[in-house]
A and B are shown apart, each in its own frame.
Chain A
């Protein structure tokens, strides 16, 4: 049976229901893992069935990280982890610490010289947040049903690698019933080899290291971990060509289902301890705006699930004219230019199709190194 929503219209209904879904705590027995879409960086939120929360990394410094968390109903973080002190992982951690109560702050104990790192650690000290240096062997009880084990780094840190900060990334293994999640930060091959030597076990979900860079996710590592699901947190059209083609080929060879934030938006993996469900295009609710799911397919699925959850009698009306129609907005640029335009700008019309790059949001364009063109002054209100 079709259901009509005369006052909100379907887009409004979807937005409101998505907002409600995000704010809802995990259902009984469900553990939620949100791969927040921060562009070219990492931010992962874990929620236990009891409502405990762990944040692994905190965006790029260009993210409304606090809004992302609050939009998901988070009012405090029980454990905040910086896997390593690169700006694309700790960019918004200081803002999180200064805005939300944080129970314990953990990092890999390897200092960096950057302003991002220094400001963050000054905040940890000023705010009196208990600090813990990650060390393989540590065990964290995450509510009643889940646990997190620290697999890396060891007390003796790796030295002389391509990137010692990456190589000493905090590696965490989350277990919930039969399900397992492996979060590897930006660990590279040297670390993968040592994890294998230490006897890494199989794990259902792999947060792919280093945004899918070819420096990580080697064949032998994948053979040991045998993930069925891989998630890549990566920005669209990034300058580093992440994820690497070779990494994607390896995933394919190993039969891993790959999910990516650049093409699917924010991801959510739901664990009931036995099975796993992956949702994509998870809407972002911030204090200022609601971004609907990224694809018509996702909208349809979410709408159906949400309508059912709300005890409605069936899926929304698929005959609604606005349903499934690509939304207007977004931005365009030439890959040869530093600036981006509104799509209807006369200069945008002159971009050769072979050089045309599209961005859904103002932030995407900026994160990928573009700046707004003076001719049409694009603004975030024109986000898709």
Chain B
């Protein structure tokens, strides 16, 4: 269980299993405030999208970068 322990200005202090973690208050879900109980879920769908975009970018960069073989002279 994750509880919003308090909000200190722009910082939200979350309590997770007794330990506290600070995050930007702006990152809290809409409507969350002191005492709110949050859920930690695995978002495989979004993760897949982000990974796919990252891989596409890597391919673009590799296509234009120096050749991987041979000697790179600095």
Contacts and interface: CB of A to CB of B under 8 A. Distances in A.
Q: Dominant SS at the A interface?
A: mixed
A79 interface: yes
Q: Chain B, interface size: which category?
A: 20 to 34
Interface in B9-60: 11, 20, 22, 47, 50-51, 54-55, 57-58, 60
B64 A130 contact: yes
B51 A111 contact: yes
A37 interface: no
A336 to B, nearest CB: 12
B54 A111 contact: yes
A132 interface: yes
B58 A109 contact: yes
B61 A131 contact: yes
A138 B54 contact: no
Given A78-B74, A121-B61, A141-B71, A111 B66 contact: no
B64 A113 contact: no
Contacts of B55: 111
A48 B73 CA distance: 13
Nearest to A112: B54
A371 B74 contact: no
A45 to B, nearest CB: 14
Contacts of A133: 58, 62, 65, 68
Nearest to B47: A113
B34 to A, nearest CB: 16
Given A131-B65, A141-B71, 6 more contacts: A104-B65, A133-B62, A133-B65, A140-B72, A141-B72, A141-B74
Interface of A: 48, 52, 54, 78-79, 103-104, 109, 111-113, 117-118, 121-122, 124-125, 130-133, 135, 137-143, 338, 371
22 contacts: A48-B74, A103-B74, A104-B65, A104-B72, A104-B74, A111-B55, A118-B50, A121-B54, A130-B66, A131-B62, A132-B68, A132-B72, A133-B58, A133-B62, A133-B65, A137-B69, A138-B68, A139-B72, A140-B72, A141-B73, A143-B74, A371-B22
Interface of B: 11, 20, 22, 47, 50-51, 54-55, 57-58, 60-62, 64-66, 68-74
